[in-house]
Structure 1
Amino acid sequence: MNTIMRKSVLGLAGLAFAGGVVGGPIAAHNTQSVDARPVAVLQADKPAVDKAKLIPHGVQGEQSHIDLNDEQIANVKAIIAATKKSGLDERAAVISIATSLQESKLENLGHLGDANDHDSLGLFQQRPSSGWGTPEQITDPEYSTMAFLKGLKQVDGWQDMPLTEAAQTVQVSAYPDAYAQWEQQAADLVAQYWNS
């Protein structure tokens, strides 16, 4: 080992020893109690979602919330996966999930008989008779989300619109303002599952 390298190694060892002597006894006599409650652990490989981008206009109106079962959470994850596959961002996922919360409560609905709204099916209550696809396609969560997102991409400036306006432009609902009530829950779901 050359002389410069040896001096560097010995110097680092000396600093480590000095730090242990100074830090050791002080640390050993620390009498402050430690809060033993569990803390959230963030994984370094999964960056947090920028929550400001999820709701850029703030929520509009009173917000609704429902508890989700495993099937509904699986549909949330399917919507997020399809959004990523389509190359769109978290805001598009928020709009998609809020739309599905309004249309089907995130349930992949088949034909409901007399309770059916015309021939509306799936997560987004899309209609085969309106050109959204076949019943089999519309009841496939990936397909129905991709179809919704294709419509969203065709809306000029959807990124800068309030959620309810963007969703209504795609869905053409009889209740255009109803989508807004789901924005907070949709944003919370995207924040929770986008990087999972």
Structure 2
Amino acid sequence: MSGIVEGLAKAYVKRWLWKAAAPVAVPVFGVLTLLLIPLAVLAAPEASTASASSSCSIGGTGATVAGTELDAVQMGHAQTIVTVASGDGLDPYAATVALATAYQESRIRMLANDGSSPRLTAEQAAVTATSLNFPHDGLGSDHDSVNTFQQRWIAGWGTVAQLMDPVYAAEAFYRRLIEVPNWQVIPLTEAAQAVQVSAYGSAYARWEPLASELTTMLWPAAQATAADPGGAVAGVCPGLPVASGSWIRPTAGTVTSGFGPRGGTLHAGVDIAGPRDTPVYATADGTVVIAACTSAYCDRDGSLSLTGYGNLVELDHGGGVTTRYAHLSAYTATAGQRVSAGALLGFQGSTGNSTGVHLHLEVRLDGASVDPVPWLADRGVDLQAATIAG
């Protein structure tokens, strides 16, 4: 994996009004302000309950581009594709070719493959189906094709695990694109077809206006990311309206692992799993103590062999009470910052000692971890609920 991967989890759109975390950005880049769709909240500002829209994520809140509606997931993948091109020193045309290709092949979604194609042997089908073990946005069944570009492990694009990494997928596309003679000047559909060798090679041209507008929209953010990939990002998602002094559930999703012994060690918190880049909010008013990568790397998913919390935000609520928000794909807070309950802190991810996308939430009293479920229940917060509520 090349150096562009460095900092990419924190690299989604720096220094626009939202700064980085999002594939779409704000004020300083005027036209992009039109892309922000407010986060839906069900509670009034004075209420202690709030609900977050599932359409809001690190990838943005959706946009209409060249007459085509793209949701937050698609915008997130589009930003990754553009950011990789910028980081690899390629020009915007490379990103345009890649985006047109990805839209034709998958509608810019990370697709897994269940191996059901009759063209696969039983062994090939089994290997292809391992793509289901990785985060994905839907299923495909075309041969052994996977990911946003529908790349094939049998055709030498990489292992299934590599191909299910959005950054690797984009880099693999660009590696082959730059080998195409005169790729910078030949028609887009010819450049894309030379890389993809598709049965429908002329189809890519249809999406050139969409891809060109997307590139224009996302390129400044990609350049800002390449220039400064580290540090906190600023989020697309607004904070939640929560009454001062209230406690809330910090993120949407399902509790998948509770507090207690796990594999001979203490699992010091509770895991709440939702879609990748689901917003994570402050459970209560507090001051940011830590906002940093606490593992050897946080620019991509971690593993059980990696130590640390990955991207971590810790809040001090006073009275000896602190909360920790771990494994974030990116964080939006900075140390020393004062935040209110419902403030955006980051996004669910799988950085650090983790094998799946989730938020690891801890509650600590004078430094000692306690079970967050009953502790927060005493403050009116039901962690077993599927949505954010106080």
Q: What band does the TM-score fall into relative to the shorter chain?
A: 0.5 to 0.7
1:153 equivalent in structure 2: 178
* Residue identity opposite 1:94 in structure 2: T
Aligned residue pairs, count: 138
The root-mean-square deviation of aligned C-alpha atoms, in Å, is 1.9
1:127 equivalent in structure 2: 152
1:79-158 equivalent positions in 2, closer than 5 A: 79-114=81-116, 116-158=141-183
1:185 equivalent in structure 2: 210
* Residue identity opposite 1:76 in structure 2: A
Q: What is the aligned-residue identity percentage?
A: 42
The structure with more helix, counted as a fraction of residues: 1
Q: Look up the SS of the partner of 2:184 in the other structure.
A: helix
Q: Which segment is superposed worse, 114-123 or 125-134? A: 114-123
2: CA distance, partners of 1:75 / 1:88: 18
2:198 equivalent in structure 1: 173
Q: Look up the SS of the partner of 1:154 in the other structure.
A: coil
Cα displacement (A) at 1:112: 4.2
2: CA distance, partners of 1:160 / 1:76: 22
TM-score normalised by the chain length of structure 1: 0.66
2: CA distance, partners of 1:65 / 1:135: 34
TM-score normalised by the chain length of structure 2: 0.34
* Residue identity opposite 1:186 in structure 2: A
Cα displacement (A) at 1:92: 0.3
Q: Look up the SS of the partner of 1:193 in the other structure.
A: helix
Cα displacement (A) at 1:86: 1.5
Specify the structure having the higher radius of gyration (Cα): 1
Q: Look up the SS of the partner of 2:151 in the other structure.
A: coil
Taking a change above 3 Å as real, the CA distance of residues 43 and 102 of structure 1, as seen in their structure-2 partners, is closer
Taking a change above 3 Å as real, the CA distance of residues 43 and 121 of structure 1, as seen in their structure-2 partners, is closer
1: CA distance, partners of 2:206 / 2:156: 27
2: CA distance, partners of 1:91 / 1:157: 12
* Residue identity opposite 2:185 in structure 1: D
Cα displacement (A) at 1:66: 3.2
Moved over 4 A (4+): 40-44
Q: Report if aligned partners of 1:65, 1:182 keep a CA contact under 8 Å in 2.
A: no
Q: Look up the SS of the partner of 1:194 in the other structure.
A: helix
Residue ranges of structure 2 left out of the alignment (5+ in a row): 1-25, 31-65, 117-139, 222-390
* Residue identity opposite 1:157 in structure 2: N
2:230 equivalent in structure 1: none
1: CA distance, partners of 2:189 / 2:181: 15
1: CA distance, partners of 2:209 / 2:29: 24
* Residue identity opposite 1:89 in structure 2: D
1:32 equivalent in structure 2: none
* Residue identity opposite 1:170 in structure 2: V
* Residue identity opposite 2:183 in structure 1: W
Q: Find 1:76's aligned residue among 75, 78, 101.
A: 78
